Amino acid sequence: MKKALYLIPAGMLFLCASVLGQKANIDSLELVAQISQDQLKLGKLQNMVDDRTRSKQAAAVDAQNSASDNVRAAEKLNDDPNNKKLASDANSKAGDAKSDAGKARKEIRRLDDLNKNIMELKNKIAIAQARLKMYSPAPVFIPLATPMPQPDTTQHS
């Protein structure tokens, strides 16, 4: 009867340990899957950086060209302020410059948001990898066998 009282807690201990081990294994597998998904998403986002950078640069060039066209149209209108055709042209160029400037700002925001998302995803991956290290076994250090000094057993006479 006393043996049963000692065996029951020991059995429960082994049962709980195996259940906790399985829970840790499932958690670590979920972390690995999440890290893989996040790394795939990170790769896709990083592939978009070049396209967004080119779009931003093209929009900035378009905005600069529209602003230059607007300046030229305003100078022509300044030379002949009563010319309705020049006034209409200057107004149109001003609208184009305003529109292109807005597009350039939008492209800048899109690139900034993309870079922000990349940094957030990198941080998320780093945190998940740190949590995953909890589940991996600690490295086992095996001490090297050091030669033990042998006593001198020779007989000197």
| Residue 76 lies inside a defined structural domain of this protein | yes
**Please, which pLDDT band fits residue 19 given cuts at 50, 70 and 90?**
very low
The three-state DSSP-derived secondary structure of 92-150 is HHHHHHHHHHHHHHHHHHHHHHHHHHHHHHHHHHHHHHHHHHHHCCCCCCCCCCCCCCC
98/92 Cα distance (integer angstroms): 10
> Is 125 among the domain residues?
yes
pLDDT at 1: 53
Assigned domain for 69 exists:
yes
Q: Is residue 57 part of a domain?
A: yes
Q: Rounded mean pLDDT of 41-62?
A: 94
In a domain, 14, yes or no: no
Chain mean pLDDT for the chain: 81
Residue 128 lies in a domain: yes
pLDDT in tens, 92-151: 999 999 999 999 999 999 999 999 999 999 999 999 988 888 876 655 455 554 455 566
Query: Structure pTM?
Result: 0.65
Q: How far is CA 136 from CA 38, 68, 83, 125, 148, in A?
A: 20, 62, 80, 17, 35
How would residue 28 be classed by pLDDT, with cut points 50, 70 and 90? confident
Q: Which domain holds residue 108?
A: 21-135
Q: Is 152 inside a domain boundary?
A: no
Number of domains in the chain: 1
Cα radius of gyration rounded to whole Å, the chain: 36
CB 108 within 8 A of CB 35: no
